[in-house]
């Protein structure tokens, strides 16, 4: 078995990728984990409410990662344990891609992979953590022919 991705479309716009794209990107970042993942696509209001509640920030954010935290006794009973949930703000992804001069699909791929890496335990709180996580993101994105999102002109 591999990663099983479920996409909840609470907000949509023309440039939102199809479920197969989300599956490919998330699976690449999950590194062959046998797990489930929910990706919830939301509007700015829902993103802001969740960001306020869980991070204390009163503004929408592009991606939020919620790792699954279940007791070991429950995990043993599941054929595919949950990796966690990603909440992605559709209008913010599109606005960021435009502002950064990136293809919208490339930015979607980056944010999905970034979020999955967070669910795997990677972070960017320190320069060393950021360097390691960004290197993984560059490698994953390059495997899809996507340019380095951290490159500066």
* Residue with the two structure tokens 């950021």: 130
At residue 153, the pLDDT reads 58
Domain boundaries, the chain: 4-142
At residue 70, the pLDDT reads 81
Q: Kindly calculate the radius of gyration of the chain based on its CA atoms and give it in whole angstroms.
A: 15
Share of the chain above pLDDT 90, in %: 75
What is this structure's pTM? 0.92
- 8 Å CB contact between 68 and 21: no
Residue range 51-103, pLDDT digits in tens:
999 999 999 999 999 998 888 888 788 878 899 999 999 999 999 999 999 99
Could you tell me the pLDDT band of residue 4, with boundaries at 50, 70 and 90?
very high
C-alpha–C-alpha distance, residues 141 and 25, integer Å? 9
Beta strands in the chain (DSSP E): 4-9, 36-42, 63-67, 82-89
pLDDT for 11 beyond 80: no
What CATH number has the domain spanning 4-142?
3.40.390.30
């Amino acid at each position: 078995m591999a990663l099983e991705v479920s996409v909840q479309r609470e907000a949509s716009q023309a440039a939102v990728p199809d479920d197969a794209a989300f599956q490919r990107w998330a699976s690449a970042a999950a590194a062959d984990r046998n797990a489930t993942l929910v990706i919830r696509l939301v509007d700015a209001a829902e993103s802001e409410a969740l960001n306020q509640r869980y991070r204390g920030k009163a503004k929408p954010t592009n991606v939020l990662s919620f790792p699954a935290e279940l007791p070991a006794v429950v995990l043993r009973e599941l054929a595919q344990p949950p990796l966690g949930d990603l909440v992605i703000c559709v209008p913010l992804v599109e606005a960021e891609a435009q502002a950064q001069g990136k293809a919208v699909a490339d930015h979607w791929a980056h944010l999905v992979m970034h979020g999955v890496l967070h669910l795997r335990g990677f972070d960017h709180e320190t320069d060393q953590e950021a360097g390691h996580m960004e290197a993984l993101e560059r490698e994953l994105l390059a495997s899809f022919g996507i340019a380095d999102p951290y490159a500066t002109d």
